[in-house]
Amino acid sequence: MKLSNRLLSVAAIALTASLASAQNLNINLGTTQTGNRPSVGFGAAASQPGFWNLVSANNPTTVNLADLSGTPTSVSVSLVGGFGNFGIANPAWSGDDEKLLEFAADVGSLGQSAQGGGSITWTFGGIQPGNYEVYTYAIAPDLPATYKTRVAVTGAVEPAQIVGGSWTGQPYLFLATHSKHTVTVGVTQTIVVVTSDPGTPSGNLPTVNGFQIKVATGGGGGGSTGTPFCFGDSTGTACPCGNTSGFGANEGCLNSLGMGGKLGATGTASLASDTLSLSGTQMPNSSALYFQGTAQQSTGAGAVFGDGLRCAAGSITRLGTKTNAGGGSVYPGIGDPSVSVRGAVLGAGTREYQVWYRNAAAFCTASTFNLTNGLQVVWTP
């Protein structure tokens, strides 16, 4: 009997150690059918392959989420609000992309009162203290270019972000397919994510597809993805012809598509290991020039330029011209120099980035171009 008790105690200690060590998590929302689980080799936007938890948006609480190895942990997720699961096929998506994105949680629009329509609060409990990156997938499978979702993480370095945009497959595009926030978890051991309807466009139906929670290798902070600034929402310089974008959308002045161009980034802005990738979305399928500046125009308020605002100023470096497809593009592409090499970033400090894109439709001024928001990136050694 003593031996059995001792064995039980050893097993309990081992289980407790396993529960306490888990921090990196992949969560796929909207279904618990194992046939819809992404593969363990699928890393999505966080480049984090491993086991994917299947969580139903119809259940208020799921406990013992598994880590990347599939081992149960002490982490739980609970939700308040929304309208449960839904699934819609998108013919442009396939494989692991469709498994992650086509089965999702229906946030509901503003004005829908049942179950707290228009907002879902997600609480991840039992998270070990530390610095984390939180990726929230929030692209609608039915009308990705139209529907938008606002994502806020309580206590995060970055402000609320609005997600949604045209997307036809890899790579994942920041602010089109997902948001990214960095947050420090303390003794409360919780991460709280609020997904909601930003209120535009009319008839908007926000969506949440899943999450990735990843230990921040750089100790937290917003430098790895940058800080958006200089928006077309009248918080700075007014757009040239009343083509104002929605407050909180974090995008440039509206273009002829009825949306503002967005610039975001993923990866790490480190001179020793530069993995920074600039992602432009919500633009016409035309040419797009990615460029770098050393200062913010008008202290971040921007200046009218064409149909939009010039945000990056100082010493300008042209990184490269891309052709948008599905409303977006990235720099660097295959065969391109890294951002730090092409931008001649030789030491730690800040740089400002923006995309200048062609918009030939008769829309605003006589000019045939517009620009995204600006993005400030902090480079580390």
Q: pLDDT (tens digit, 9 = 90+) per residue, 198-213?
A: 887 878 899 999 999 9
In this predicted structure, the answer to whether residue 20 has a pLDDT above a threshold of 50 is no
Q: What percent of the chain has pLDDT over 90?
A: 63
Spans of all domains in the chain: 21-215, 227-379
More confident residue, 217 or 169: 169
Mean pLDDT of the region 298-312 = 96
| Residue 207: strand, helix, or coil | strand
Q: What is the pLDDT of residue 250?
A: 83
Q: pLDDT (tens digit, 9 = 90+) per residue, 260-284?
A: 999 988 888 999 989 899 999 889 9
Q: What is the pLDDT of residue 202?
A: 78
Task: Report the CATH fold assignment for 21-215.
Answer: Jelly Rolls (2.60.120)
- pTM value is 0.61
As a whole number of angstroms, the distance between CA 176 and CA 356 comes to 18
Looking at every residue in the chain, the average pLDDT score rounds to 87
User: In Å, how far from its chain's centre is CA 314?
Assistant: 28
More confident residue, 373 or 247: 373
Strands (E), 36-142: 53-55, 61-62, 76-81, 85-87, 103-106, 119-125, 130-137
Residue among 74, 88, 24, 76 at smallest CA distance from 51? 24
As a whole number of angstroms, the distance between CA 256 and CA 259 comes to 7
As a whole number of angstroms, the distance between CA 252 and CA 308 comes to 7
Mean pLDDT of the region 222-232 = 74
To which H or E segment does residue 211 belong? strand 210-215
Q: pLDDT (tens digit, 9 = 90+) per residue, 99-146?
A: 999 999 999 887 665 555 689 999 999 999 888 999 999 999 999 989
